Amino acid sequence: MKKIEDYVTSIPDFPEKGIIFRDITSVLQDADGLQLAIDLMEEKIKDLDYDVVVGLESRGFIFGTPIAYHNHKPFVLVRKKGKLPRETVSVEYALEYGTAVMEIHKDAIKPGQKALIVDDLLATGGTVDAAVKLVKELGGEVVGCVCLMELAGLEGRKKLDGMRVETVICYPGN
């Protein structure tokens, strides 16, 4: 039986020299890899009590939706600015070069709801932190985050200090 790491393709010097890009499309393109990824993510949060799954654009949708489905929970989208059709709340956050804006529908989280955030990758923590702020702005409580991969060298956990963060694969570098 293959380990989940065996399904990830590592591409050296992409997008620039010295970077090893961890490509999850090879996980998604293999039925066993996709099933294993979702099963392992669910295993990491099996003891967590949550009311709603919040998926981050776009790969958080891929992993978050089956987690929500398997656990009979609603699924909420956090998207880039301008992609949601109804009234939203938004937050600006820092990227490596510049800023971005994430949005959530204003009625997506009810006050007091416990939210699980799902994404494919924890790197600097900026995107997850933005989602945490959006959930809190709507009166929800973030009880944890689960990601398939983590680039520990970028220290994203520091930005999420105090929050439960689970990852399936942890790469030591960036």
d(CA 80, CA 131): 11
d(CA 64, CA 161): 22
Annotated catalytic residue: which of 22, 59, 79, 103? 59
Annotated catalytic residue: which of 16, 86, 87, 96? 96
Query: Quick check: is 59 catalytic?
Result: yes
Strands (DSSP E) contained in the chain are 9-12, 20-23, 52-56, 75-80, 88-95, 98-105, 114-122, 141-151, 165-171
Q: Two tokens at 2?
A: 């293959």
Cβ atoms 9, 41 nearer than 8 A: no
Residue with tokens 């790469």, as numbered in its chain: 171
Q: Which sequence positions are flagged as catalytic?
A: 59, 96
